[in-house]
Amino acid sequence: MKLFNFLKKKNTSIPERKITVPDFSNHPFIKRCEYLKEEYGLIVPDVYKEFFTKYKVPETNFYYRVFWEERHDYLYEIIFYTKDFVNYIVKRFYETFGEEADYEWLQKIMEEGECEFMIKENKFEAKHIDLSFLDQCYEERGRNQEELMIVMDVYSDCGGAEYLILTSDKKGYSGGCYHGMSEKIVFNGAEIQYKILNHYRLVSELILKKHTM
């Protein structure tokens, strides 16, 4: 009986230790993200929030400073289409217009749409060209920004550019492009081209690697 009581005491579970999770709600970067969302409709994903609140990255950092630059009432944001969204657009274009589909016109509105995405309203719209078909496709996909690559400009010149990616499966990465870099899909004998990014690099790794060198 005494042995049983001894074993019973030995099996007494130890209370779990409470893990304190740091509260970053008042971190300057979190406040900045809230401002960007409220003022411009720009949603900064958690992958950036978690990294820039955990590590002390100076605001002058090549990538971090992008979030702090004045935006001067940006209405439109540069976007790149994901391949899935392009395939959907082309498919719906044929379903809508059939054999009368004008793929040259589709090419034109897709090119215009890359610079005519109203970030705060979350829609495609332009004064000089009708983008209603493109916006209709976006509506049918639930106005899900993961269908697009919404980006922030790190640097750009006549030769190319580098961007921070905020949406799609590449959020958290930087991507680069040069003038005219594109991919194409072929549908019913027609070629549809769309701009792409490449040279993807994880932003957190780029920053940490530089700081440990």
DSSP-assigned letter for residue 30:
H
> In whole angstroms, what is the distance from residue 177 CA to residue 52 CA?
25
C-beta atoms surrounding 184 within 10 Å: 11
Residue 72 backbone class (left: φ over 0; alpha: ψ -120 to 50; beta: rest): left
pTM score: 0.84
Model confidence pLDDT, tens digit, residues 163-197: 999 999 999 999 999 988 999 999 999 999 999 99
Model confidence pLDDT, tens digit, residues 115-150: 999 999 999 999 999 999 999 999 999 999 999 999
Domain boundaries defined on the chain? 76-212
